[in-house]
Amino acid sequence: MERRGIGVFDSGLGGLTVVKELRKLLPNEKIIYFGDTARVPYGSKSKKVIVKYSKEITNFLMTKNIKIIVIACNTATAMALEEIKNMVDIPVVGVIKPGSRRAVRTTTNNNIGIIGTTATIGSNSYYNEVKNINKNINVYQKACPLFVPLIEEGLLEDSVTYEMANRYLNGVKGKVDTLVLGCTHYPLIKKTIKKIVGENVILIDSAEETAIEVRDILYSKRLLRNDEGEESDFFVSDMPKKFEEIGKIFLGTDLKEAKYIDIESYSGENN
């Protein structure tokens, strides 16, 4: 019987949107989640630092008897996916390819917008992925560095969030029919984004597509769990109580106790 869990990590709370979709699609699976709340946001940090953080988290997750790793962070996916794949002998899934495929399937006018952190946009990961699928699509990118801290402060429908969104989205408004939310935090401010870009623009949340990819991989490798699942475990690098309070907004339900982990103690290479 396959009882190993699904390891999921993010720079903070945003990856809980992926957990939510995984729970819907794979209710029997145990999820082990790590949120790097001490070092959020990742979007303004260098590739070297993000790779270091991602390796530490991977080392930690590998101590939890997992069968697959989901990098539920666009920035970490853009910067560290290949390094993590080379570290471990289990499947590793990021959020950029699933989201890009969904966007290409969705657009009708071949104009796609991508919003994300400074690091994600700077990496051109979404741009390149979309162009690899269909080189004729026009891609408009915009970094939105203040969204993550505003969301993590719980300012989801605050006037300051609306003002920043209006500034950031001015360049894509009226040009695109599909907008990729290139950060797992951004679905929490869908209402605000919709007010600015218009109801006709379709917002792509890669969490759903990522969950489908995880299901398909586990099915193909005969790793799906068939008996009733266990409670998910949540770990953070700082402020577990705050994580629990805000986390329920992301999950749409209460989450069990989050446990503090000294993540830097996992800096040694995974064997």
**Catalytic hit among 13, 61, 71, 73:** 73
Query: Based on the number of CB atoms within 10 Å of its own CB, is 217 exposed (0-12), middle (13-18) or buried (19 or more)?
Result: middle
Within 11-119, strands assigned E span: 31-35, 66-71, 92-93, 111-116
Catalytic, 183? Answer yes
**Catalytic hit among 16, 18, 57, 183:** 183
Which pair of structure tokens corresponds to residue 92?
A: 């590793």
- List binding-site positions for substrate: 10-11, 42-43, 74-75, 184-185
Closest CA to 193 of 178, 207, 203: 203
Catalytic, 144? Answer no
Contact indicator for 19, 72 with CB cutoff of 8 Å? yes
Cα 153 to Cα 149, 168, 192, 207, distances in angstroms:
6, 19, 16, 21
- List binding-site positions: 10-11, 42-43, 74-75, 184-185
**Distance (Å, rounded) from C-alpha 62 to C-alpha 69?**
9
Cα 69 to Cα 29, 92, 139, 246, distances in angstroms:
13, 5, 29, 24
**Distance (Å, rounded) from C-alpha 271 to C-alpha 258?**
27
- Residues assigned a catalytic role: 73, 183
